[in-house]
């Protein structure tokens, strides 16, 4: 009995002293530092280690291993045009020059309900056309990229040459997310039909890029929700003031309620700072029955 009690006490003492074990590297020197998109940790004791990644799977050699899920930086370079303000080869910046673009992102209401806090003290670039909302989806193919596959959203500025930039007015977008299949990009605008990339975004030199403007097949659903603006340039269809993904009589009715008004208006399809007959005759009318093709 005494021997049994002895072993019980010893076991209890060990349990009290070693309730948990955590692997660690004991080294004479080491360190850790991190930045916005990367971190670096190191120790002495191994000749060489390396980490490999294909965007969704990461293999790390050596003693040091990640203890939590890995988040990668997605640097995203996009090019897209809006039909409304487009002329000849670029988009107009009337809303900007008239100081009508809001300083905070405008997508916090239905149907987007985006709660992002993107805002600026002033519009950072005279070439800014308007705010747009960029969404990322992780799916096996375009048809499967429904709203359930959404992994991130970010409000951004669209420049007159079609570049999508961050709130500093110049840098490409950066997301800190991971994905396991293919990355599809959606572009939302407050009075144009939403579009989605027909193909997964490709990566080169650490940057993921997609040019929506080159041909209709770049957009999922093709010309059903997209159109040719001029030779060699395709763009997003204007005329959806009601934000329901369909250009119909409801958008004309909405336009009639604000006809003759000036401001940052969803019914200002040309985005020239006023709702007038040009919006109705040149944008809404030719696009009647156009339907958004983003999978939902």
Helices (H), 129-248: none
- Averaged over 235-243, what is the pLDDT? 97
Question: 39-43 and 30-34 as β-strands: parallel, antiparallel, unpaired?
Answer: antiparallel
Structure-token pair, residue 156: 């951004």
List, in order, residues 6 or more apart from 269 with CB less than 8 Å away: 84, 191, 238, 239, 241, 255, 279, 283, 284
Structure-token pair, residue 213: 């403007």
Q: For residue range 193-219, list pLDDT tens digits in order.
A: 999 999 999 999 999 999 999 999 999
Residue 181 has pLDDT above 80, yes or no: yes
Q: Where are the beta strands (DSSP E) in 140-181?
A: 150-159, 164-165, 173-177
Residue 41 has pLDDT above 90, yes or no: no
**DSSP three-state, residue 199:** coil
- Averaged over 165-178, what is the pLDDT? 96
**Nearest to 275, CA basis, from 206, 214, 191, 216:** 191
Task: Provide φ and ψ at 267, rounded to 5°.
Answer: -85, 0
pLDDT at res. 43: 61
Q: Is 18 exposed, middle or buried (0-12, 13-18, 19+ CB in 10 A)?
A: exposed
């Amino acid at each position: 009995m005494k021997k049994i009690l002895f072993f019980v006490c010893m076991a209890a003492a060990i349990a009290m002293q070693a309730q948990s074990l955590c692997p660690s590297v004991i080294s004479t020197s080491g360190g850790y530092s991190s930045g916005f998109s990367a971190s670096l940790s190191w120790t002495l004791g191994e000749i060489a280690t390396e980490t490999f990644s294909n965007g969704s799977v990461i293999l790390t050699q050596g003693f040091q291993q990640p203890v939590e899920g890995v988040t990668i930086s997605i640097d995203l370079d996009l090019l897209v045009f809006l039909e409304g303000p487009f002329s000849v080869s670029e988009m107009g910046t009337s809303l900007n020059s008239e100081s009508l673009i809001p300083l905070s992102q405008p997508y916090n209401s239905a149907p987007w309900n985006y709660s992002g806090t993107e805002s600026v003290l002033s519009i950072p670039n005279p070439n800014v056309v308007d705010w747009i909302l960029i969404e990322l989806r992780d799916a096996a193919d375009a048809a499967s990229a429904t709203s359930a596959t959404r992994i991130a959203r970010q409000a951004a500025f669209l420049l007159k040459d079609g570049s999508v930039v961050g709130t500093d007015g110049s840098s490409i977008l950066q997301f800190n997310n991971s994905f396991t299949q293919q990355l599809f990009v959606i572009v939302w605008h407050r009075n144009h039909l939403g579009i989605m990339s027909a193909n997964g975004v490709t990566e080169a030199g650490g940057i993921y890029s997609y040019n929506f403007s080159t041909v209709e097949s770049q957009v999922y659903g093709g010309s059903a929700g997209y159109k040719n603006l001029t030779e060699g340039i395709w763009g997003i269809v204007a005329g959806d003031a009601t934000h329901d993904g369909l250009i119909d009589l409801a958008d004309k009715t909405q336009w009639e309620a604000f006809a003759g008004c000036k401001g940052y208006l969803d019914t200002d399809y040309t985005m020239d700072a006023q709702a007038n007959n040009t919006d109705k005759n040149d944008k809404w009318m030719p696009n009647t029955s156009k339907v958004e093709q983003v999978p939902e």
